[in-house]
Structure 1
């Protein structure tokens, strides 16, 4: 894992390993090629979640002409449907809960979010995700309950008076914050009830809530063009995007020395990283650092596939992750905006029982023995994703998942167990209810356990093996 301690240790290694030829990496600093590569590796691991999240937020809240645009900053965008293969901005999206999205710029003043009363049997949540992609807090069924409430969302350093009528204060350490709303959909005929819940979500500036004049507005943000999913892996402009995002991320005390280190290659809030001014040798060193970062991720992925690291380990607050930057990168790559473990966990299958990668050229079964279904307070689902894009899969019956709300439709085994069929070809009408369509090529499947019970969190319950049909 790459923590702050690892970063500093790598600096010590360079100091004892000898200094290579120094080439200017910015207008202010020079650094050896060896150390530049190490810093680039560290900065890429650190910065990937910030850059990828910015890519998504730009599509959702800035690019008004784009197909993925939701709403301007400070306005809630309700999506009164579940996600389909046409939704491509976010990797590994769920298709269980219609989303609502909100982008908040907290520089001028706080915002008040209002939630309606929601039926007690309907799960909903609001996940507050900052610019670092830390899940800083939650509201909803499992945390604040199902009653109507007002929530105050404040930015870094805000120390104002909390007004009456506020149930909870959400404190962000970044100027930019994205609340992500999820509302359970029981079945397709339930969508109008979900729309009613979504219509009850409201947001307004604190001054409006108080009936006072608004403070002076912060200077508008001149949003820069983001990279694409592909060019984030190939373009050194990545570091300029990171520098832009860091402007809105006050440096945490635990990262002061880290930021000083990053600055040696021109990475930091408001700095300019100019790839065109790098020598060929320095360019190769920085690109090598990026390659090293992806090698680190590949090693982490092996730990995921082997069950040594799970979603429970990689989503959460800054305190929970304890500055484990590789875990944060892994979380973003595999499923950005995933929930913290008390809200949801995501046991996934990248390999079958024989440790072979999954492909639509094979057929698989996933059997839950009697009384061994995923233990949840809300609901569970199994969703299919085509790889390497990690997006939902087009199929003839428009089915992207199987979930616990479909239990009455499933055909149970003779002993009461449940066997799900994962394959590309339709198994026939008599078995179709239990079929999760797969693409022809590589794929992964994710279990989602919303509001998991204790036995899912403490390891007493384990996901069953995925077996290839031979």
Structure 2
């Protein structure tokens, strides 16, 4: 697999007429807007690269257009996706839809189990959801196409889904009821399939797309080589209607499709300032993400996310690949009832469910622990990363029927350990996920119980 990096040096040249001169404040403002607009694409590409384009990397899953299943729940060792869930073993496919569509097969499964194929464009918008909510559990073959595809649809296709970008991500979630249920999940995962349309239909393959020297990306390169990465990705992401201002803004900064950055007509002062803006705006996005308290308005379809560039960027930073609210509602706990940050070094906390305040769902719910600095699952001596609704029968209840969950670093003792969600020895956050939330959760009639600090 070819990889490329771009030179980091700058060239001090006089601005040419093709790139209008701007004052520093204008450049800073334009670069900030450009960074916010492109940040989700670059963040998305980081995962795509690790999963499908870096064969010698620790997070590699398989080649492009190949569906690969992970027959286990996620652990702290899984670091390619921030804020991952550990309820639903994942299957992944990174789509390259430039040459032809891909057919993804979902097998029929039992009615009580949840599954879905989340289809995410390069911008991180959720385009569609083959699976339980949209199609039921009867399975089927789904034709996933690139933008503007006009070919013949073969017999046997249940639905045709057009992706707005030629690079896209597919994430299959299969509900795991308990550790003893893993063999059944493996059986379901083995029936997930992906095939190029030509192979599925038994017809000649179209001409191969132009070869791509896939740019290397890492968390470090997202800082030091950000603008070349953003320019590289524009070729895979046609602009949405309404993005014209943002694309013109990129163009005047020299961030252009299939063009090296910095171009010769960009002054060294502008290059230096744009690199500085990467650092300051990333912090701004991170701060915005830290203020999020639920997911109801931060993930969704291209239409829902239209023009909401900072929200999209904050969502990508705080929990990339979050579900649209109709599929799953996320409640983000970063503070206790008194608005103090959750801190496993100094604090012990409880979250209490009464029979009336249990999350209202048609599928299942879970509460998952994360360390706040890294946004990954928390290593702990009992290897418990979440407490979820399938565990209800094993949780200790009070005489009033209440379930008190304990969020703290040290064990609350043998009698309460069934209700213990281990925390790190640092600041943390927890995420409650409601899969297929009922109307009461969506319209506010149900309110999530607070996390309370013990004295």
> Which TM-score tier does this pair reach, normalised by the shorter chain?
over 0.9
Post-superposition Cα deviations, 1:358-383, rounded to whole Å, max 9, x if no partner, equal: 11120000011222101111110000
Matches within 5 A, 1:306-385: 307=293, 310-361=294-345, 362-385=347-370
Counterpart position of 1:126: 117
Deviation of 1:300 after TM superposition, in Å, equals 2.9
**1:30 partner SS:** coil
Deviation of 1:203 after TM superposition, in Å, equals 1.1
| Residue 171 (1) aligns with residue 156 (2) | no
Equivalent residue for 1:414, pick from 399, 412, 433: 399
Unpaired runs of at least 5, structure 1:
1-21
Deviation of 1:217 after TM superposition, in Å, equals 1.2
**2:55 partner SS:** coil
Equivalent residue for 1:96, pick from 72, 84, 87: 87
Contact 1:25 1:282 in 2 (8 A): no
Counterpart position of 2:426: 441
Counterpart position of 2:274: 286
Deviation of 1:27 after TM superposition, in Å, equals 7.9
Report the CA distance shift for 1:355/1:284 in structure 2 as closer, same or farther (over 3 A): farther
Equivalent residue for 2:143, pick from 149, 152, 158: 152
Matches within 5 A, 1:72-91: 72-91=63-82
**1:253 partner SS:** coil
Contact 2:119 2:127 in 1 (8 A): yes
**2:335 partner SS:** coil
Counterpart position of 2:101: 110
Deviation of 1:168 after TM superposition, in Å, equals 1.1
Report the CA distance shift for 1:467/1:25 in structure 2 as closer, same or farther (over 3 A): farther
Counterpart position of 2:258: 270
Count of residue pairs brought into register by the alignment: 442
Post-superposition Cα deviations, 1:321-349, rounded to whole Å, max 9, x if no partner, equal: 12200110111111000100000011011
Report the CA distance shift for 1:275/1:434 in structure 2 as closer, same or farther (over 3 A): farther
Deviation of 1:276 after TM superposition, in Å, equals 10
Report the CA distance shift for 1:75/1:25 in structure 2 as closer, same or farther (over 3 A): farther
Structure 2 CA distance for aligned equivalents of residues 136 and 438 of structure 1:
35
Unpaired runs of at least 5, structure 2:
1-12
Q: TM-score normalized by structure 1?
A: 0.90
Report the CA distance shift for 1:283/1:26 in structure 2 as closer, same or farther (over 3 A): farther
**2:79 partner SS:** coil
**1:402 partner SS:** strand
Deviation of 1:459 after TM superposition, in Å, equals 1.1
**2:405 partner SS:** strand
Counterpart position of 1:10: none
Deviation of 1:413 after TM superposition, in Å, equals 1.9
Structure 2 CA distance for aligned equivalents of residues 299 and 393 of structure 1:
22
Counterpart position of 1:250: 238
Equivalent residue for 1:202, pick from 190, 193, 198: 193
**1:377 partner SS:** strand
Structure 2 CA distance for aligned equivalents of residues 429 and 90 of structure 1:
33
| Residue 56 (1) aligns with residue 47 (2) | yes
Q: TM-score normalized by structure 2?
A: 0.93
Post-superposition Cα deviations, 1:108-147, rounded to whole Å, max 9, x if no partner, equal: 1111111111111111110001111111011111111111
**1:69 partner SS:** coil
Counterpart position of 2:435: 450
Counterpart position of 2:229: 241
Post-superposition Cα deviations, 1:379-399, rounded to whole Å, max 9, x if no partner, equal: 100000012110001000000
Pairwise CA RMSD: 2.0
Equivalent residue for 1:142, pick from 126, 133, 137: 133
Deviation of 1:211 after TM superposition, in Å, equals 1.5
**1:136 partner SS:** strand
Structure 2 CA distance for aligned equivalents of residues 227 and 23 of structure 1:
32
Equivalent residue for 1:300, pick from 288, 291, 299: 288
Structure 1 CA distance for aligned equivalents of residues 60 and 373 of structure 2:
24
| Residue 423 (1) aligns with residue 408 (2) | yes
**2:433 partner SS:** strand
Report the CA distance shift for 1:159/1:340 in structure 2 as closer, same or farther (over 3 A): same
Contact 1:383 1:401 in 2 (8 A): yes
